[in-house]
Copies of this chain bind each other. A is one copy, B any other.
Amino acid sequence: MVSAVLLAVGAGSGAGEDGGREIAARILGAALVDDGAWEKLAWLSDRIGPRLSGSPQLERAIEWAVEEFRRDGIDSVWTEKVLVPHWVRGPESARIVSPVEHPLAVLALGMSEPTREGGVSGPVVEVASLEQLEGLGADAVRGKIVLYNKAIERNGGEHSGYGSAVGLRANGAAAAAKLGAVGMLIRSLGTASFRLPHTGAMRYEDGVPRIPAAAIAAEDAELIHRLLASGETVRVHFSLGCKSLPDAESANVVADLKGREKPEEIVVIGAHLDSWDVGTGAIDDGAGVAIVMQTMRLLKARGLVPRRTVRAVLFTNEENGVRGAEDYAGRHAAELARHVAAVEIDSGAGAPKGVRVSAGPGGEEIVRRIAAVLDVIDADAVSSPGGGADISKMRPAGVPQLALWQDSTYYFDYHHSQADTLDKVDPDDLRKNVAALALLAYGLADLEEPLPRLEPERP
C-alpha cells in the first residue's frame, strides 16, 4: 500500500513522480521514529506549565521556543512584540445556599470582572439558549443569576458540540446583564462529568453592565436543574477574585525555513503558545506548538527545502484576545499577498485524520493530492472548511485557510480545565501529527503554482 499511495505526492508537488515519492518516504520515515515533539511538549507542559497571557510562564515559553528553534538549526528566528490582556484568576468559590447547602465546582471565565467584595447572591434563572433568555424578559431576570445550562456531547457536531454552546459563554453575561441579571453562570463546556469546571473566554459589551461570569461543573448545573424542576427557588452565592491588570508585553515567535526558489512566498504553520491558567496547556495548544516546532526541525534536519518558505508562527494570546494573530496580520499586511497558505494546528493531540481546507476554486482537489500519501497513517481525509482562530486574521487578505484535522473525540473532555495535562497525549499520535503536518507543509510550499486564493474581503 505504501508504494501505491506514495505515488500520489508527486502529482501534488513539483518534484516529479520519483522525487515526490522519495521526499514523502523521507518525511514519513523520519517523523514516525522521532520523539522530538514529545520532548518539546513535555518541557512546555511539565516544566513551563500554564501560560496565560501576561504570566511569567508565557514569557519563559517564548524564550524557550526561540532558543529551541535555534538549537534545531532553523535559519531565521525572531519575536514580534505584542501587547496582550493581563487577566489573572483570584480566589473563587460558589455554592448553592438554598434549598440545600452544596458547594459548586467553579472557575471564573477569562476576562470576567470580579464580584464585589463578599460576592454576589441571587435566585437562579436557568436557560439553555440566548433566545430562551430573551423570551423570559427583564421582569423574570432582574436581580437574578442566569445559569446557561446546555450540555454538549463528544463529537456532537453543530447540534450539541462545543460550537453550539461557545456563544453562550462568550456573550451570555452581556445578554443577561441587559435584562438586569446580577451574575452569570454557565454549565462547563466539557464532554465528561468529573466535577471538573472548564474555563474559557467571555466578553462584555460597551454600555452594558459588566456582571461577573463563571463556569460550574456539569454535575452542579444538573443539580440546580433538578432542584428547579421540583419547583424550588434555588439561591446561589459566588465570589470571584479575578482582575484585569494593564496590558502586558508578549510576543509572537516566528521562524523561517527559507524556500529554495521563491523564499519571499510563505506557507505559515501556526499554533498558539499561550494557554489557560488551570491545566498545563498540553492539548491546548502545547501539542500544536510541539507539532509545528518538530515539523520545522524535521524538514531542516533532513535537508528538505521546498520551493517556498515554510514559516512557523507561535501566536501569543489566542485564548483571551487573539492579539497575537491580529498583530501578525497587521504587521505583515503588505506581505499577505505573498502568504500562499496558512495552516492552524489547534485541536489537541488526537491522531491526524487529514486536512481541512478553505481555498479558492480547485484548491481542495490540490490539497487532496498532497494529502493522499497520508493514507499510510489513515490521515488522508480532506474536507472543508479549514482555518482557525489565529490564521483567520489572514483570511480577509485571501490567504487559503487550512487546519490539521485531528481526532478530537476526547478533546473537550479536558479542554480549558485543570485536566489538560501531558498524560492526555499519546506519543504515537503526536508522531503521526508531525508526519502529517510536515508532508502538508512541504507539499503546499513545493507546489508549482500556489493554492488558489480566497476572495479577499473588503476591509
List A residues at the B interface (Cβ < 8 Å): 42, 46-47, 49, 99-102, 105, 192-196, 218-219, 222-223, 226-227, 279-280, 413-414, 417-419, 421-424
Contact = CB atoms under 8 A, between A and B. Distances in A.
A421 B195 contact: yes
A17 to B, nearest CB: 45
B418 A195 contact: yes
29 contacts: A42-B226, A46-B100, A46-B223, A46-B226, A46-B227, A47-B99, A47-B100, A49-B101, A49-B102, A102-B280, A105-B418, A192-B194, A193-B424, A194-B194, A194-B196, A194-B413, A194-B414, A194-B417, A194-B419, A195-B196, A195-B279, A195-B417, A196-B196, A219-B421, A222-B421, A222-B422, A223-B421, A223-B422, A226-B422
Given A226-B42, A227-B46, A193 B100 contact: no
Contacts of A419: 193-196, 219
A424 B101 CA distance: 20
Nearest to A223: B46
A46 B222 CA distance: 10
A218 B423 contact: yes
A35 B393 CA distance: 54
A278 to B, nearest CB: 9
Chain A to chain B: the 7 pairs with minimum beta-carbon distance, closest first: A194-B194, A195-B419, A219-B421, A195-B418, A194-B419, A222-B423, A194-B196
Contact of A423 (B102, B193, B413, B418): B193
Contacts of A100: 46-47, 49
Contacts of A279: 195
A196 B49 CA distance: 19
A372 B422 CA distance: 48
A99 B101 CA distance: 40
A99 B43 CA distance: 12
A279 B223 CA distance: 12
Contacts of A227: 46
A391 B421 CA distance: 42
A279 B100 CA distance: 14
A423 B219 CA distance: 7
Contacts of A422: 222-223, 226
A42 B419 CA distance: 29
A226 to B, nearest CB: 6
Contacts of A195: 196, 279, 417-419, 421
A405 to B, nearest CB: 25
Contacts of A280: 102
Given A196-B196, A223-B422, 4 more contacts: A195-B196, A196-B419, A219-B419, A222-B422
Contacts of A219: 419, 421, 423
Contacts of A46: 100, 223, 226-227
**Residue with the greatest number of chain B CB neighbours at <10 A, chosen from A49, A280, A423:** A423
A422 B226 CA distance: 10
A234 to B, nearest CB: 11
Contacts of A417: 194-195
A223 B418 CA distance: 13
Contacts of A42: 226
Contacts of A99: 47
Contacts of A105: 418
Contacts of A218: 423
A293 to B, nearest CB: 20
Contacts of A193: 419, 423-424
A422 B47 CA distance: 38
Nearest to A418: B195
**Residue with the greatest number of chain B CB neighbours at <10 A, chosen from A47, A219, A417, A422:** A219
A369 B26 CA distance: 66
